[in-house]
């Protein structure tokens, strides 16, 4: 069967990892998969003025004129076709059995495609109302597309706000990458979190929590990481740039406690990856985090409305090392039962055709 994925641009992110996994695994199952992306990224500010995004699109266009490779060097491994097209339209998209929008910006283009391009689905990985024309983003969830979403939280949100039904398929984890066969628990605990530019990720909350922990546990080590640094951190928080999955795995494997400070999110992939590497995840009870973990058994859930919630959660583990180890070991076992790529792809396959 022929499958077309439509993505706004190729960039390394948690959401793009999920898209690449679906595309690659469907390809390995014998389907003919093509990922289409526009040569100039879709405009999420359509109808609004945004000078910075205009500059970004100009820089992107210059790269094209200079014939530079637009696919980042650190993008996830793939064996399917990636095709850049001048526009997402019937002229440039091949006939297929299934076509999948992967963002609100691509959903409108997919909706306008001829049915010959395939059965239309919309993979919703977050409520994408940030850095965009919010009115257009929200209207995308009412388009006549079959919605596949990644969490029960998003399913409930789409039903309550837009009376839109959705099918939940949680993504898997690549356990050939994220695993830890030789976990070592440090006497001086390592606490890490992912840096990000979006406000909902609540990096300020993570820093606040680390500052309070530092006062009680001065020998603890603190690490922020990401593809690039988006915040200024106190001197005791070390920033590590992650360029690929090997870097990411190394950080998870030497981490004792992983902080998930997000206030709202669609799924929350980093805590799941950390759990697979035997980290004790301490996070706000948002998105899918409480759907793939059990409080005080495989993770520690915190109240996002309590500014000291993460601090209390971390202290409950640093004051009880046996509990920390038990949660870390249980998490690595149980997450494999819940987030399984074979199950996810099989379910996805049944829905899109």
By CB atoms closer than 10 A (0-12, 13-18, 19+), residue 84 is: middle
* pLDDT tens digits for range 125-165: 999 998 899 999 999 999 999 999 999 999 999 999 999 99
58 pLDDT band, cuts 50/70/90, is confident
51 pLDDT band, cuts 50/70/90, is confident
53 pLDDT band, cuts 50/70/90, is confident
**Percent of the chain with pLDDT strictly greater than 90:** 87
Amino acid 215: pLDDT: 97
Identical fold for domains 2-168 and 190-338, yes or no, is yes
The structure's pTM equals 0.94
Q: Say yes or no to pLDDT of 237 above 80.
A: yes
**Cβ-contact 148, 165 below 8 angstroms:** no
Amino acid 238: pLDDT: 97
- Three-class HEC string of 136-158: HHHHHCCCCCEEEECCHHHHHHH
60 pLDDT band, cuts 50/70/90, is confident
* pLDDT tens digits for range 338-349: 999 999 999 999
Architecture label for domain 190-338? 3-Layer(aba) Sandwich (3.40)
Per the listing, tokens 């509990």 go with 323
**Cβ-contact 105, 43 below 8 angstroms:** yes
70 pLDDT band, cuts 50/70/90, is confident
Mean pLDDT along residues 181-186: 90
Would you tell me how many other CB atoms lie within 10 Å of the CB of residue 341?
18
Q: Which stretches of the chain are DSSP H helices?
A: 14-28, 51-65, 104-112, 134-140, 152-162, 203-216, 245-254, 269-276, 289-292, 309-318, 321-338, 341-352
Mean pLDDT along residues 49-76: 80
Q: Say yes or no to pLDDT of 63 above 80.
A: no
Mean pLDDT along residues 262-273: 97
Tokens of 66: 């200079």
Alpha-carbon distance of 51 to 74, in angstroms, equals: 28
**CA angle at residue 228 from 306 to 85, to 5 degrees?**
110
By CB atoms closer than 10 A (0-12, 13-18, 19+), residue 184 is: exposed
E strand or H helix at 220: none
DSSP percent split of the chain into helix, strand, coil, nearest 5: 40, 20, 40
Alpha-carbon distance of 253 to 271, in angstroms, equals: 13
Sign of CA dihedral 41, 45, 49, 50: negative
Would you tell me how many other CB atoms lie within 10 Å of the CB of residue 94?
15
**Cβ-contact 287, 265 below 8 angstroms:** yes
DSSP letter at 84 equals E
CATH number of 2-168: 3.40.50.2000
Computed over every residue of the chain, the mean pLDDT equals 95
Closest residue by Cα to residue 177 from 280, 266, 269: 269
With H, G, I as helix, E, B as strand and everything else as coil, classify residue 190. strand
Amino acid 49: pLDDT: 77
Amino acid 293: pLDDT: 98
Q: Say yes or no to pLDDT of 69 above 80.
A: no
Spell out the domain ranges in the chain.
2-168, 190-338
Sign of CA dihedral 173, 179, 253, 323: positive
């Amino acid at each position: 069967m022929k499958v077309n994925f439509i993505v706004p641009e190729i960039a390394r992110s948690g959401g793009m990892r999920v898209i690449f996994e679906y595309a690659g695994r469907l390809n390995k199952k014998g389907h003919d998969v093509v990922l289409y992306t526009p040569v100039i990224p879709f405009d999420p500010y359509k109808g609004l003025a945004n000078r910075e995004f205009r500059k970004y699109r100009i820089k992107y266009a210059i790269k094209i004129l200079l014939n530079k490779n637009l696919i980042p060097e650190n993008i996830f491994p793939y064996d399917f076709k990636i095709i850049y097209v001048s526009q997402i339209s019937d002229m440039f998209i091949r006939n297929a059995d299934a076509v999948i929008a992967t963002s609100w910006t691509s959903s409108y283009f997919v909706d306008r495609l001829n049915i010959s391009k395939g059965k239309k689905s919309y993979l919703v990985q977050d409520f994408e109302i940030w850095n965009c024309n919010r009115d257009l983003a929200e209207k995308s969830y009412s388009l006549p597309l079959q919605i596949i979403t990644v969490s029960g939280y998003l399913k409930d949100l789409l039903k309550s706000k837009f009376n839109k039904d959705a099918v939940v398929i949680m993504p898997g984890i690549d356990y050939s990458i994220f695993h830890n066969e030789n976990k070592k628990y440090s006497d001086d605990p390592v606490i890490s979190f992912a840096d990000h530019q979006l406000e909902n990720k609540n990096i300020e909350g993570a820093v606040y929590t680390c500052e309070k922990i530092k006062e009680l546990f001065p020998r603890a080590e603190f690490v922020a990481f990401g593809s690039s640094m988006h915040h200024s951190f106190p001197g005791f928080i070390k920033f590590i740039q992650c360029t690929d999955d090997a870097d990411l795995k190394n950080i998870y494997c030497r981490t004792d406690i992983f902080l998930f400070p997000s206030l709202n999110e669609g799924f929350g992939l980093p805590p799941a990856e950390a759990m697979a590497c035997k980290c004790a995840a301490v996070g706000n009870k948002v998105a899918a985090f409480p759907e793939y973990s059990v409080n005080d058994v495989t993770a520690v859930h915190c109240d996002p409305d309590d500014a000291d919630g993460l601090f209390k959660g971390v202290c409950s583990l640093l004051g009880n090392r046996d509990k920390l180890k038990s949660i870390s070991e249980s998490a690595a076992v149980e997450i494999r039962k819940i987030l399984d790529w074979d199950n996810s792809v099989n379910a996805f396959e049944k829905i899109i055709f």
